[in-house]
A and B are shown apart, each in its own frame.
Chain A
Amino acid sequence: MLKLNNIAKVYRTTDVQTQALDAINLEIRPNEFVGIMGPSGCGKSTLLNVLGLVDQPTSGEYWFYGENVAGYSEDQLTAVRRKIGVGFIFQSFNLIDDLNVAENVEVALIYRRVAAGERRRRVTKVLEHVGLSHRAKHMPQQLSGGQQQRVAVARALVCEPKLILADEPTGNLDTANGEAVMQMLEQCVGNDTTVIMVTHAEAFAARAHRCIHLLDGRIVDPISAAA
């Protein structure tokens, strides 16, 4: 379903060249829950962004649900993301300050041309699912960090994505809230949905079906990678 062949990503500034990813070969199957670990700056987020089609690899092949998307333009990537359904969850929540909870969640549906009535129904449903329907009209600033991340999870789930990418989703949360978010992610797995999560927390990584370790842009645990 997701297949990376010899993927590399190089960032260039005028006089510095950074090899963020180097010779990444990886395959992720449907319904898998994959953890990505590694020290800061090892390329975890870059890999996640490439997997989620918000960043382009410098070289290599990336087969995304049967389509080699390496070399696609931004607009093409956007179209593929819309078609497949990709949900994102960030460490810093990234809610839009000027929109309330329901509107923030709704954003994920707007660009998929979902009719207004259907949007409302799905937003209500997903907010119930994350336990925030009573907060639908609140602004992000009025919520706690845990609640904000649950809104972000709801936003990721509302489009019924096949792929959920979570970048340190528990990084800014206390233990209890982190656990709640982890449970939600675990519930998502299956039913044709794959979850890939970048994390620093060994305990949370251990709950994934398998874990990939990165160091300096390379996958360093061949056993996990080959599994």
Chain B
Amino acid sequence: MLRNYLAAALRNLARNRLYAAINIIGLAVGFAATMLIALFVRDELTYDRWIPGHESIYRVSGYTAVAEIKQAQDALPREVAEALTQETPEIAALGQLSFTEHYSLRKGETEATEEIHFANSQFFALFPLPVIAGNLQTALAAPNSIVLTRRFARKYFGRDAPVGETIEVNRDVVLRVTAVLEDLPSNTHLDLSIVIPIEAMDAIVTETYRRDIMYAYVRLAPDVSPTRLLAALPAFNERHPAFTKARYPYWLDTVTPIADIHLRPDNAGSMKPSGSAATIANATAIAVLILTIASINFVNLTTARATRRSVEVGVRKVSGAARRQFIAQFIGEAVFYAALGMAAAVAMTALALRSFNGFLQRTVTLDFARDPILILLPTVIVLVAGAAAGAYPALVLSRFSPARVLKGEPRTRVGRSRGRHILVAAQFAALIALALVATAITRQARHTSTEALRLDTDQMLIVHEGPRGSGCAPEFATHVRGLAGVRAAACIMGPVLGGPSLLMDVSAPNGMSAKSQYIVIEPGSFELYGLRPIAGRFFSSVYGSDAPPLDGKIDLAQNAIINAALARGLGYANPQDAIGETIRFTATIARSATEKRPNAVTEVVGVVSDFGASRNLKESAPPRVFFIEPDTLQTSGALHVKLTGREIPETLAAIDELWKKLGPPQPIERYFLARDIEARYGQYARLGEMVATFAALAVFISCLGLFGLAAFAAEQRTKEIGVRKSMGASGADIVRLMLWDFSKPVLWGSLIAWPAGYLIMRRWLDNFADRIDIEFWMFPTASALALLIALLTVVGHALLVARAEPVKALRYE
């Protein structure tokens, strides 16, 4: 019996090659897109879960506060973590890891500035990362050790296991390779590639701040719940006023399982940009939408074609086939089709994975042997999609009266089912909603990295703000300014784009106070970025009072510029009101500023817009105050260089040459600001592109389905068209009739898509403090595009039918 069914199914497939191809390709593309998204979602959800023993590893963190304003910080003073470990029996081990530092590595001719982390000797006991050479457990025991990943072992030594070889840091500290790690996969919050023992820090890191603040990971003793540790933190804070009242005051209040770190919101000092539940939810929704669109196609085409097989059903019925046999036959066939689609989808996914990984900067793999879910999920999808597509013909066709079918009575009742039109409408609703969401995400991503910054970041090069030497050293800076390819340059210390920074508390004569970031600039810095004062003026060398005299005297009056957020924070509704006001710094952790000017007073001479953004995009730009402080700039500032855009390679080479001649003895660190923008906001742009790509795929799948349905409708309605034509309908009338029929589902779909799309867009945009407006034109545009594409897809068939001779059409049935 199976052979008979299989013969019928395969020959049906071969005879209807076009439909089979449309059906299987549509399904395969849909499945492949769904699989890629599922792999991405799985990657997001499995952060750090692959690390052996991750269940008992937690990151301990807390917050600093200035004037009772909390700021969560992922990293904390080392002494706090060490005291906690000593005093808390629940903690079995403490692993410490520094911020990402940039230092030069040199081996022979190969030298470059790299991202380096410092860790204590216990770190790898908590994080037993995959190692390809050496013993990780003892790798950080000696102070002159260094652990590299495979990539960097190859870069500096040309091989995978250079254990025992030496390498120089900063051209003076010699370290010996003790272990080589496998390159870390993308699904970890750790951004590690080069690790050096904490004990080597004194010789390498000059800034004490950078030596003192680290991430703290703890392994809890067996059977200890993290809530017990969490409950012990308030008492710990109480016991240690030295920590909470220090210059960098720190309160512990958070215990995070490492597997949860990725999906927590970004705090100050996160190692990698965090993921978000919203992104995962959106990606999942898109996967479900695409799967739905592909399945609707499949169901529609399968049911449409199935009606052509009513004779087979009739004959089998009079031959004694029972209903359940039909159900098994049709569902079996649909599952067979779905399985073919899935096989093609797996091949497509494997082919697309490389570009997908490159695009999203992931290391997602399709490893069936390791991941039973990769077999289980597609199997379930094939069975469900197959059952859904097969169930309808199975149930409907098996109810056909064989007497009527075999007498050749019209079977159009099923062929023109309303159900199919509803499904097509649902498909277009999903499609239009997807297009709307893609529009919102792409526009917001562009907005976030351009207008929302309110900065002209084009051709902006940042030169060295490393702790060992600044691009603002006067001789170097002067020569750079003189280069032909340089339009202008300015020294700035502090995050232009926004991000963690030195903080101070600012109070106004009206009694209001606000916590503010503290950024040191020089005259011309704002102009360099194309900013204009929204009140007052910017710094200028013609005003002597803008800058303090260079004699280092304390408590000198100095002018300040504040941003609009600080003006609001200090209670000035109109920025103009802040001009001429005298503000005071009452407390601060900005070391250079307080050391020089405790309780300094200064006059606000200008207000600048809230350029840049908070790293956590849910918050708007933080309050900021800007000063001129030439000596600070010379040691710690970065030179921001605006290039003319002509002869860029030559200009860069000239800057490098100047650095070699005039800078400190280490490689120059320079990058275009665009790199920073990409690192911060690239994920949003990529998400936008991803959604747009998947929306395009959804369009493709829907068009395939529509094409198939149009062909089917053209065939089905041949007789009707013949009658209409014999009654005087023109070809144009027929085309109009067919096109209108296919326009209806798009219009109905819009009715659902507009409100649904609006809600999803709103939810997405709520993630951004500075967001685009949802504009009305987006909705009709999306629908009009969908309609246009739908009509272009079916117009060929409509023309074909309209051109048929009525006699032939009437003879058809």
Contact = CB atoms under 8 A, between A and B. Distances in A.
Interface stretch (A30-38, A86-94, A208-216): A86-94
A172 B4 CA distance: 28
Nearest to A52: B318
A98 B1 contact: no
Given A90-B406, A111-B325, A96 B320 contact: no
Interface in A33-64: 45-46, 49, 52, 54-55
Contacts of B7: 98-100, 103
A96 B322 contact: no
B403 A94 contact: no
A107 B15 contact: no
B312 interface: yes
A110 interface: yes
Q: Which of A78, A82, A86 has the most CB of B within 10 A?
A: A78
Please classify how large the interface on chain B is, using the bins under 10, 10 to 19, 20 to 34, 35 or more.
Answer: 20 to 34
B808 interface: no
A46 B409 CA distance: 13
Contacts of A95: 311, 315
Interface in B1-34: 1, 4, 7-9, 11-12, 15
Given A75-B322, A78-B322, A111-B325, A99 B403 contact: no
Contacts of B408: 92
Interface in B402-418: 402-403, 406-408
Contacts of B316: 96, 107, 111
Given A97-B311, A98-B15, 20 more contacts: A52-B318, A54-B318, A54-B401, A54-B403, A55-B401, A55-B403, A78-B320, A78-B322, A81-B320, A82-B320, A96-B8, A96-B315, A98-B309, A107-B315, A108-B320, A110-B1, A110-B319, A111-B316, A112-B320, A155-B315
Interface string A178-217: 0000000000000000000000000000000000000000
B311 A108 contact: no
Q: Which of A45, A52, A96 has the most CB of B within 10 A?
A: A96
Q: Is the interface of A mostly helix, strand, loop or mixed?
A: mixed
B512 interface: no
Q: Is the interface of B mostly helix, strand, loop or mixed?
A: helix
Contact of A45 (B312, B318, B407): B407
A94 B322 contact: no
Contacts of A103: 4, 7-8
B606 interface: no
Contact of A99 (B8, B317, B318, B323): B8
A138 to B, nearest CB: 13
A19 to B, nearest CB: 17
Nearest to A86: B318
A95 B316 CA distance: 10
Interface in B319-366: 319-323, 325
Nearest to A168: B407
B314 interface: yes
Interface in A128-168: 139, 155, 159, 167
Contact of B406 (A46, A88, A97, A139): A88
Given A49-B403, A54-B403, A88 B8 contact: no
A167 B317 CA distance: 16
Given A78-B320, A94-B406, A111-B322, A99 B311 contact: no
A167 B403 CA distance: 11
Interface string B294-323: 000000000000000101101111111111
